Amino acid sequence: MNNDLPTSIIIFGASGDLTQRKLIPSLLHLTRKGRMQSKVNILGFGGTAFTDEQFREHLLKGLKEFADFEYSQADWDSFAPNLSYLQGKYAEAADFKKLSDSLTKLEIGQANRLYYMALPPTLFPTIIDNLDATGQLHENGGWRRVVLEKPFGTDLASAVQLNEQVHRALNENQIYRIDHYLGKETVQNILFTRFANTIYEPIWNRNYIDHVQITVAEKVGLEHRAGFYDSVGVLRDMVQNHLLQLAHPRRNGAARLVQRRSPAR
Domain enclosing residue 150, as ranges: 7-178
Q: What is the pLDDT of residue 79?
A: 96
Q: Say if 1 falls within a structural domain.
A: no
Cα dihedral 230, 231, 236, 238 in deg (nearest 10): -50
Residue 202's Cβ-count burial label (10 Å; 0-12, 13-18, 19+) is exposed
Residue 93's Cβ-count burial label (10 Å; 0-12, 13-18, 19+) is exposed
Q: What is the pLDDT of residue 47?
A: 94
Whether residues 116 and 211 share a domain: the answer is no
Whether residues 84 and 194 share a domain: the answer is no
> What string of DSSP letters covers 37-68?
-S-EEEEEEESS---HHHHHHHHHHHHHHH--
Whether residues 25 and 52 share a domain: the answer is yes
Name which of 144, 142, 79, 111 is nearest 6 in CA terms: 111
Cis ω on the peptide bond leading into residue 151 (within 30° of 0)? yes
Each residue of 43-72: pLDDT tens digit?
999 999 999 999 999 999 999 998 989 999
Q: Say if 114 falls within a structural domain.
A: yes
Q: Say if 160 falls within a structural domain.
A: yes
Reply yes or no on whether 138 is catalytic: no
Amino acid at 223: E
Residue 257 has pLDDT above 70, yes or no: no
Each residue of 213-250: pLDDT tens digit?
888 777 766 666 666 666 667 777 777 777 777 776 44
Q: Say if 111 falls within a structural domain.
A: yes
Q: What is the pLDDT of residue 192?
A: 80
Whether residues 162 and 229 share a domain: the answer is no
Whether residues 189 and 220 share a domain: the answer is yes
Strand partners, 45: 12, 86
Mean pLDDT across the stretch 188-206? Answer: 82
Domain with residue 36: its CATH number is: 3.40.50.720
User: Percent of the chain scored above 70 by pLDDT?
Assistant: 86
Whether residues 36 and 129 share a domain: the answer is yes
Number of domains in the chain: 2
Mean pLDDT across the stretch 125-148? Answer: 94
Whether residues 53 and 136 share a domain: the answer is yes
Each residue of 200-219: pLDDT tens digit?
888 888 888 888 888 877 77
- Which residue, of 178, 193, 221, is where some domain finishes? 178
Q: Say if 2 falls within a structural domain.
A: no
- Which residue, of 154, 178, 202, is where some domain finishes? 178
Q: Say if 218 falls within a structural domain.
A: yes
Residue 182: how many other CB atoms lie within 10 Å: 16
How many Å apart are CA 130 and CA 135, to the nearest integer? 9
Whether residues 70 and 103 share a domain: the answer is yes
How many Å apart are CA 250 and CA 101, to the nearest integer? 44
Strand 112-117 relative to strand 175-178, pairing: unpaired
CB 65 within 8 A of CB 219: no
Whether residues 186 and 121 share a domain: the answer is no
- Which residue, of 178, 195, 214, is where some domain finishes? 178
Each residue of 160-182: pLDDT tens digit?
999 999 999 999 999 998 877 77
The whole-chain average pLDDT of the chain stands at 84
Of 58, 224, 242, 248, which is the active-site residue? 242
Whether the model pTM is above 0.85: no
Cα dihedral 85, 7, 67, 256 in deg (nearest 10): 130
